[in-house]
Copies of this chain bind each other. A is one copy, B any other.
Amino acid sequence: MSTPLRLASREDLRAWCTHIRQSGGTVGFVPTMGALHAGHRSLARASRERGLTTLASIFVNPMQFGPNEDFDRYPRSLDTDADALEREGVAAIFAPSVEEMVSAGDRTTVSVRELTQHFCGPFRPGHFDGVSTVVARLFSLVGPCVAFFGRKDYQQVAVIRRMTTDLAMPIEVVACPTLRDEDGLAMSSRNRYLNPAARHQALSLARGLHAASEAYHAGERRADSLVFLARQEVVSCMDSVDYVALGDADSLAPLAGTVLRAPAVLAIAASLGGTRLIDNIVFGIDPSPIGKHP
């Protein structure tokens, strides 16, 4: 493996991507906020396995953090991240400064309606607008590509997929499976905020999803029962639970009170000692096993 090229400016990024395409290649794009873990590395690997020329971006996007969220303390580890990306065969890294990505006179927002009203939407006002706007900007710079996202951020992928379709962007969005540690905890850059005791309690998210999954595979289709099974694992372990909710797998529209007939996603957000964690499992598309005995 050779050291990934470091692209410093928007112009460098655009020129490099154009060059790759003109040379007959296809750009595989892995947008990240850094603090990379095996989940991110699996995205780069998915790109490599498709024979793409992989570009990773590392940008902690201030637009997607609320005023009381963890933008300042969000982990930053560029050199370690670059080493990890090199081992995954990433060809280039775009790690812009905030000034490079957010111009002073910026007044444009890309918003996706409805999907952003569910799950995390009410708890993180403005978050998804921040995500869709910065991703639209990155997609404009990168140009036609295959973009890889982790399914742990299920709602984020749904929003980005909707945006690329609606704005007719020449982007193929690929959602990759959630990676989990041995104990079942979904990998997240925010897991490093957890001490061992907190981490033990945080396993309740995966345990709740696992309980619902077992019931689903045993034939349970009542949304409220599946939510109840997950919720009861989580409420006793976490400081606060934003939601445990079942939504339509595409629109994310709430399925409370219904009997599942179409693919659905069971999603959880809950906090512990100031660390907010999310996790989800999809029913009816992909069994997506969430690990052994979480």
Whether a CB of chain B sits under 8 angstroms from the CB of A110 is yes
Q: How many A residues are at the interface, by size bracket?
A: 20 to 34
Across the two chains, which residue of chain B brings its CB closest to A111?
A: B109
* Residue A108, interface by CB 8 Å: yes
Are A143 and B167 touching (Cβ within 8 A)? no
Q: Are A110 and B110 in contact, with the CB atoms below 8 A?
A: yes
CA separation between A109 and B115, bound complex, in Å?
13
A37 an interface residue at 8 Å Cβ cutoff? no
A113 at the interface (CB under 8 A from B): yes
Partner of A168, one of B10, B105, B115, B163: B10
Given contacts A140-B170, A168-B140, contact A108 B110 (CB under 8 A): yes
Out of B10, B106, B112, B141, name the residue touching A108 (CB < 8 Å). B112
Q: Does residue A127 face the partner (Cβ distance < 8 Å to B)?
A: no
Question: A103 is contacted by which of B133, B140, B165 (Cβ under 8 Å)?
Answer: B165
With A166-B137, A167-B140 as contacts: A115 and B107 at CB distance below 8 Å = yes
Contact status A170-B14, CB under 8 Å: yes
Does A76 sit within 8 A of B, measured CB to CB? no
Cα of A106 to Cα of B114 in the assembled complex, Å:
10
B residues near A199, Cβ cutoff 8 Å:
none
Residues 61-111 (chain A) with a chain B CB within 8 angstroms:
103, 105-111
- Nearest-CB distance from A28 to chain B (Å)? 19
Scan A1-23; emit 1 where CB is below 8 A from any B CB, else 0. Answer: 00000000010001000000000
A221 CB within 8 Å of chain B: no
Sorted nearest first, the 9 A-B pairs with minimum C-beta distance are: A108-B166, A107-B113, A140-B168, A137-B168, A140-B169, A106-B166, A141-B168, A109-B111, A108-B163
27 sample A-B contacts, Cβ–Cβ < 8 Å, listed by A number: A14-B170, A103-B165, A103-B166, A106-B166, A107-B114, A107-B115, A107-B166, A108-B110, A108-B112, A108-B113, A108-B132, A108-B163, A108-B166, A108-B167, A109-B110, A109-B111, A110-B110, A110-B111, A111-B111, A133-B167, A136-B167, A137-B166, A137-B167, A137-B168, A140-B170, A143-B143, A143-B170
